[in-house]
Chains A and B, each alone.
Chain A
């Protein structure tokens, strides 16, 4: 059971816009920034979005992130076949046991 909740799957056709949600609580998303990672099959995760909506150098502007309250979203516009991957959200959690990093359970994106 992951601290951050993501839908297990999402899908879209080439060219379409797809969004993936990430739901948390006041101790994590509600009070900290959100990061998104893309994991292509058989590879290590790659940073896709940091600090809610910032793209690292080299990440296409088709990828965008947003946050509102205790939820965050990743949007992918102009969907391409190479976007088929697992996507994870992550954030600090200010727990009583000390701050720690929490991940969502991941969303498998299928390009139909």
Chain B
């Protein structure tokens, strides 16, 4: 059973960098699939941030690309998100998920973690 768990600070100050890690269990990242990040502002819809393959190949949402870096650590079976120059608009629940790239399908999701941007 594939399981994902997000971790990281729940509070980030404006203009700083948001950093989150997703730990995968029950499946080796090196075995395949892309792995992605999706966010959901409170009371709003879903927004895809980007995805990464174990080789380091990435896809990013064009609207966030200039501020986003997604990396992978296969030795720890983890992948990470960094979002720079955050504002209150980046306050959201951040989810990590396994991504079937051909159909752009997220088939396994983490439970999500709320990140609030506030001074």
Contact = CB atoms under 8 A, between A and B. Distances in A.
Given A44-B109, A98-B62, A88 B48 contact: no
Interface size on B, as a range, is: 20 to 34
Contacts, number: 63
Contact of B95 (A33, A45, A100, A103): A45
Main SS at interface, chain B: strand
A50 B105 contact: yes
Interface of B: 38, 45-48, 59-62, 95, 100, 103-107, 109-112
Interface of A: 2, 32-33, 35, 37, 43-47, 50-51, 56, 88, 90-92, 95, 97-106
15 contacts: A33-B103, A33-B104, A35-B104, A35-B105, A35-B106, A37-B46, A47-B107, A51-B105, A88-B45, A90-B104, A97-B62, A98-B59, A99-B59, A100-B60, A103-B48
